[in-house]
Structure 1
């Protein structure tokens, strides 16, 4: 196992604040963070965040609201919300972020992450760099001295860091590299972390597919899982890039791909990276090798859509109808194509992961409702329109 220098210092922080308390984290070189924990009574910002969601009238259990205050860059002041609530008999973790010019984006982080029958707290703690400076404040889920630091990205939530330290600051911290499946463990003595061991675990630390009870929180558990097979489909993955008609950045875009599994058909030289000719479903085009990964495994959940009525699945945006889809049909979104989605109707496999096979085609954006994840579709929380 590879030894690495730890760049993330252990969080040395007073005992967790009780619900209904507020405090401030002040730093010299970073924004000021105003933090407020709550239980049944929601802060006004949290109430506003939930106002347009299916959870507006649900009973709050507990949560935390974090407000960033940066006088130099006020347009970057971010708000964060993490809370547990009761929704139709199910305890949900709801996560959200907001910027001044975009408003709140709220999503369901998990309906299974919390440990059944165990009391927990939701709070916030700072993250330090190797110089002891606060670089961020993260929401946390806490079981006594066990602390899960929770991050969020495009409608999905994940464990960023796990810490289990006793009162003498001895124990362990485990960091994850989202959206990879890499876990790094560092033993801690008197608040000082040692060398880090790295492990490759079969599932990423996403809250929608892993529970707190399943999280590998010891060296022995990580060793047992090290190099376990990837839970998703292997192959050639593409992400966050245009598929183009020709091997040049000036040629016509066939769509902006989020995540997709493609088949390599050929290659052509490029400036910094080669170009690869790819087949994604029935669509063939070229993509820069900077956005093509072999045998990686996709950890970020695919966005999904549901047909709002009977609609057509087209061969291409300017092509014929391939088949008719009934109302309520679920599909995974691969790309945005000028008012259209390139989609796949999965044939088999884990519906929480990106499909490698199925029925491919194009649907009009106005004919479907987009959701950040399958979990958000389950609870009726559509993706925020960009």
Structure 2
């Protein structure tokens, strides 16, 4: 009998039956020998009994006695063999009942390699899977609540300003034209800010749910970075910052989505402006490393605590928790940076110490066939 068959429940029962029959057969032989010896002794002693038989013991009685002894031996042997096995099955039943009642902290020991052992293994896997699903569900609920809270907070302030200024202009027909235009300009800027926040939120949701695809093209990353730095120059000047750009190569050909990459580096530059004002300098450096390009955006402002570094790319997380107007936003900027880098098959890392806060973006020079389709 093969070992694989014995490991099954059917094979185990067959094996226990064979063992029980073998033990019963041995016991029957021993009992028959003892009966034969007893009958011979009784004949030798001249014992006669009308009830048991004139010759020691009737043959029918011998057969009945052997049958009863055989049945008892078989049942006792089979029960002894199956008892431990059935205890394991009952333990499985209790564990499954507890899981069905909501207790997901069961760890069922896998003691056998048969079907019941597989059931135990699959039950453990199912339990872990259900716990993971529940944790993801709780995380999704927390994310939804964070999203609602963040959207309500970030949209309420500019929306209140827009409504306030427009209401003031609407209810003041005799308002000076210059003041009226000033209020309308403020309301317009607040509305533009609202549009930017809304676009950022929708863009993040699309990337979060893998609904955004890459529109790949060949571009020069050096020129893209120079263009973004030129466009950000008014912001640098307004905040008293100097931008320095260095590129180890003359032109960096890169395959990627130009709009998304522009958004990635815009977010990093905006982050550097917001939190690097005290450092007075923002450095951007790019170089090719093997089959990848490394772009570093460095500011010399506030040193980020080590416990905050690992959380920077989490959605809605901000080191500065006041969510003030000056450093305001949705808390999604760096999360979007990370998503765009991963979408391109790259990565983004950060370190912060007295030598500056360095955001390092790694991007492959060429996209894989899977991302090209």
- What range is the shorter-chain TM-score in? under 0.3
> TM-score scaled by structure 2?
0.20
The structure where strand makes up a greater share of residues is 1
> TM-score scaled by structure 1?
0.20
The structure where helix makes up a greater share of residues is 2
Q: Greater Rg, structure 1 or structure 2?
A: 2
